[in-house]
Amino acid sequence: MTILHAENVSFDIAGRSLVSNIDLACESGQFVALLGANGAGKSTLIRMLSGLERPSRGQVRLDARPIRAIDRRVLARRRAYIPQNARVEWPVAVERLVALGLMPQLPVFGDLDRAAWRKVEAALALCDLSHKTGQPATTLSGGELARAMLARALVGEPEIVVADEPLSGLDPRHAMDGVVRLAALARDGRLVIASIHDLTLAARYATHVAIMRGGRLLAYGPTASTLTSSRISAAFDVDACVQGTGAQAIVDFIARPDQPALHPFPGLVPA
Amino acid sequence: MVRLRQDPMPLMLALLLATAGASLVIGKVWLPPVMLFDGLAAPKPNLAWVIVTELRIPRTVLALMVGATLGLGGAVLQGLLRNPLAEPGLLGVSGGAALGAVIAIYFGLAARFALATPLLGIAGALVAGALTFLFGRSGTLTLILAGSAVSGLAAAGLALALNFAPSPYAAYEITTWLLGSVAEKEWRQIALCTPFVLAGWLCLAATPHGLDALTLGEAQAESLGVNLNRLRVLALAGVAFSVGAATAMAGAIGFVGLVAPHLVRPFVGYRPSRILLPSAVFGALLLLVTDIAIRVIPTSTELKLGVLTSLIGTPFFFWLVLRLRRMSP
Amino acid sequence: MTTPRKNELSLKAASVCRRLACLPLMCLLLPACAGPATGTEGLPSDGASSGALPAPVAVRKPTRIMSMMLCNDVLLLMMVPRDRIASITYLAHDAVEALLPGADTGVAVNHGTAEEILLQKPDLILAGTDSAPMARKLAKAVGARVVEVGAANSFADIRRVVRQVGMAVGEPGQAHALLAEMDRKLAWLASHQPARPLRVVAWSGSQAVPGKGTLTNEIIAASGADNIAARLPDSRYGSFGLEELLAARPDAILQGETRWSGPSLQDAQSMHPLIERYWRGRRIGYPDAAYACGLPQSADAAIALRNLYRELPVGRPRW
């Protein structure tokens, strides 16, 4: 059982506070969906949870040890991180890209052995990319690249997967596939933390949700009890209606009558 | 272009060996191979022996060393900065080396003892590298900007030296030195620079792991356990020592560091770690061939190495730009 | 005796030309005027006719002479008393120290700028090919005469230039005397060839080795040795690397010693270990000053070289 605990963490930069006093504890088996409007501080919190950013105040502990104190390579074996809009810089083959995820495990010199290649193939199969072997990664579509990055994260069999907006820019089918995979990982016993904008998918598949606004944590808990209409209104400034639970959950957005969208040119009364 | 052809290294090494052999035979004074062999067998010293051991071998060794350094440095920097236009001079180290060497010439230190030029050149390179590191260590972009600033500073110093040159002849000499040459350098100078070059190579040889991880960008590379700060320091130190020493010996030689990695990529793929050694070998080959060309092309005034590499390299630059334009929108 | 008559003819021609010298146009004719009258054969013997100089003519000699070229500076100092010199170039000091120590004490210095021409108000400007255009433009403003003196790359050139300057400053007699001395020395050199044929080269690094058409070549030829760089095909200052040097194995290598300015890389390169090793005792230093400017002292340089040849070891350099 792995416990990742953010103890009253804050992050300030250039006089602004991006994250204020967030206390959050997650454990294996959970799929935590991090929700919040743009600019709520999700990316910053995710970076702190992965151990890549040092909090200005407070600290993040992985199994009671400060995460920044853990050796980088040891941490890299236990935790995988996928940033927002992950890009690939050189046209390397897809399987090579995925194989980079094994870097913390492998010795510095020498190429991958057969066991390693088997893991790569398994990861590719898991993410439905086996048919793309040999293709340069720069020629993949957005969804395929997102899947490749996920495969890269999974090939090392980490205990924790932290992803920043892994579904952004994906079409409905691929977005659904992606979130289904993440949920399956959690069921397998891993801890998955991902920031998601699609509230319906979060409602259906996440085990827990953490709702942020303005750098603060509004709520954290199991999805069914935490993801309510009032909380969504408070966090997103939209009226929402949460219907159903579990795999049938739907989050509907209701436009407010006085919302600017109905009057495109303020002051201009339609004829 | 991911299809991996056969490993080109054996072929390149064979070519390198053959070119090195050619370099020992070709020179302004035509020594028929028969005479060379006789010279090696006959009691030394004799003309063939002296020319080969004192002039052609050091020239070949230096060309190989400088070419390999530039190729390796270029490959590492292109991998570190994820930019196909990166080259060893970007971090300001070549400018610093040139300025150090020109200072040695300008103040007459080079006249008093022969090792002054490479020594001050290396010192200049290290100072420039330290400055770049001091200002630019926090990130990749700041590193590039700091390197540009230091290059600018060195260029200003060089312009100042030319402006206040004590005589037109001194100005001519400074300019000629800057054009780059591996000819007629002493063994002592080469011996002085070799440890620095090797130290630089060692630093650069520790980077391939991290460079591969950078294929995914800095955030993911960090999450994979790569210490980005250490990687930058290794790259900078490696370039400062090796490229600095090479420039202190041979002057400013451009384009080899830019061109060599590009020309090996179609053969070894795009993984940064796999490009390092082939770039070094290809850079050495490129520079040695250019140096041989200099000896063969009939000119009344000696053609300088840096001039020929520029003449050959610039069209390549155009081709590279056109290719990038075609590939990306 | 034909010689003194030729002499008188030459002097008469010189005085005629001098009379016409106040017309700027005639400056251009001066070399042509002086040239044919004195050929290079039948040089006067020592002191025979140097006393028979006509008195200066009615034309005023220039009293504020400004020299804007290094070589002219030295000639000027040799021919004219200091109080008639407005200024010489700032570069002259080192050369003068080498050739005529102390001759430039108290002489003002110019940097070749327009302001100085206007300030010093010379009545004669001795300019080189580079400074002549500017000098001509400003000469009208100050009422000066401009004489453009070309470079001297051979002894024939030296004669032409010395006469030209002598005419311009109003001291043809001085010019004549200097040339007479020079020609005497050259004649001596020509009639006393060195004991054995020598091959030399002026080598201080593979750039700029003086070959055919340079003053250094002429001096070496006058000293009776063979300049191997003169065989290079085209340019006057060609490149001649160490390999060629080793293959050619000259008996001696000339290296410039007294520098006008600070030392430069050339010095280090000329001390390449190979030169140190194989030409030990065969390196001849020479003062740059006498070889860069065509001056009557160039004959002295040739004589100095000849004297040094005697001290060279016998035989070619050995490996």
- Where do the structural domains in chain A lie, given as residue ranges? 3-262
Residue at B285 is within a domain: yes
B interface mutation test: which of C265, C271, C276, C291 has the most B CBs within 10 A?
A: C265
Place of tokens 């979130």: A179
Q: Which long-range contacts (CB under 8 A, 24 or more apart) does A52-56 make?
A: A52/A81, A52/B219, A52/B222, A52/B223, A53/A11, A55/A6, A55/A9, A55/A10, A55/A11, A55/A19, A56/A10, A56/A11, A56/A12
| pLDDT at site C5 | 41
Residue at B329 is within a domain: no
Q: Nearest CA to CA, how far is B238 from chain A (Å)?
A: 19
| Domain co-membership, C66 together with C96 | yes
Measured at the CA of C220, the angle between CA C214 and CA C221, to 5 degrees, comes to 90
Measured at the CA of B27, the angle between CA B25 and CA B32, to 5 degrees, comes to 50
Residue of A nearest to B205 (CA): A109
Residue at C315 is within a domain: no
**Contact residues of C toward B, CB < 8 A:** 206-207, 232-235, 238-239, 241-244, 246-247, 260-269, 271-274, 278, 319
| Domain co-membership, C269 together with C125 | no
Q: Which long-range contacts (CB under 8 A, 24 or more apart) does B155-158 make?
A: B155/B95, B157/B99, B157/B102, B158/B95, B158/B98, B158/B99, B158/B102
| Domain co-membership, C61 together with C143 | yes
Which residues in chain B (291-320) have CB-CB distances under 8 A to chain C?
Answer: 299-302
Within 8 A of C262 by CB-CB distance, chain B residues are 106-108, 166-167, 170
Q: Which stretches of chain B are assigned E, i.e. beta strand?
A: none
Kindly state the tokens that stand for A140.
């993949």
Residue finishing a domain among C162, C187, C212: C187
Query: Is the ipTM here above 0.90?
Result: no
| pLDDT at site A140 | 92
- Identify the CA nearest to B55 among candidates B69, B34, B36: B36
Could you tell me if A201 and A179 are in contact, meaning their C-beta atoms sit under 8 angstroms apart?
yes
| Interface contact B38, partner C, CB < 8 A | no
Distance CA C239, CA C261 (A): 23
| DSSP reduced 3-state for C111 | coil
Instruction: Report chain B's mean pLDDT, rounded to a whole number.
Output: 89
Residue finishing a domain among C187, C215, C244: C187
| Domain co-membership, C209 together with C287 | yes
| Domain co-membership, C80 together with C154 | yes
Q: Nearest CA to CA, how far is B91 from chain C (Å)?
A: 27
Residue at B61 is within a domain: yes
| Domain co-membership, C17 together with C160 | yes
Maximal C-alpha separation, chain B: 67
Q: Nearest CA to CA, how far is B216 from chain A (Å)?
A: 5
- Residue by residue, pLDDT tens for chain C (319 residues) are 334 344 444 444 444 444 444 444 433 433 333 333 333 333 333 434 444 455 555 467 888 999 998 888 989 999 999 999 999 998 888 888 877 888 888 899 998 888 888 888 898 999 888 888 888 888 888 888 899 998 888 899 999 999 999 999 988 999 999 999 999 999 999 998 877 788 998 887 666 777 788 888 888 899 889 888 887 665 556 667 888 888 888 888 888 764 544 444 455 555 678 888 888 878 887 766 667 788 888 888 888 888 888 888 887 787 7
CATH number of residue C212's parent domain = 3.40.50.1980
What single letter denotes the amino acid at residue C147?
Answer: V
Average pLDDT over every residue of A138-159: 92
Residue at B4 is within a domain: no
| Domain co-membership, C99 together with C71 | yes
Q: Which residues pair with C88 in a beta bridge?
A: C109
Residue finishing a domain among C187, C218, C248: C187
CATH number belonging to domain A3-262: 3.40.50.300
Residue at C138 is within a domain: yes
Q: Nearest CA to CA, how far is C48 from chain B (Å)?
A: 43
- Cβ-proximal residues to A205 (8 Å cutoff; 6+ apart), any chain: A31, A33, A179, A180, A182, A183
Residue of B nearest to C209 (CA): B301
| Domain co-membership, C158 together with C229 | no
Give the range among A216-225, B40-49, B55-64, C245-254 with minimum mean pLDDT. B40-49
Structure confidence by residue, pLDDT tens digits, B91-123: 999 999 999 999 988 887 876 777 888 999 999
| pLDDT at site B98 | 95
Count of domains observed in chain C: 2
| Domain co-membership, C54 together with C153 | yes
Residue at C318 is within a domain: no
Residue at C314 is within a domain: no
In which domain, by residue range, is B57 found? 9-324
Distance CA B300, CA C213 (A): 15
In which domain, by residue range, is C200 found? 196-309
pLDDT band (50, 70, 90) for residue B315? confident
| Domain co-membership, C233 together with C110 | no
| pLDDT at site A248 | 84
Count of domains observed in chain B: 1
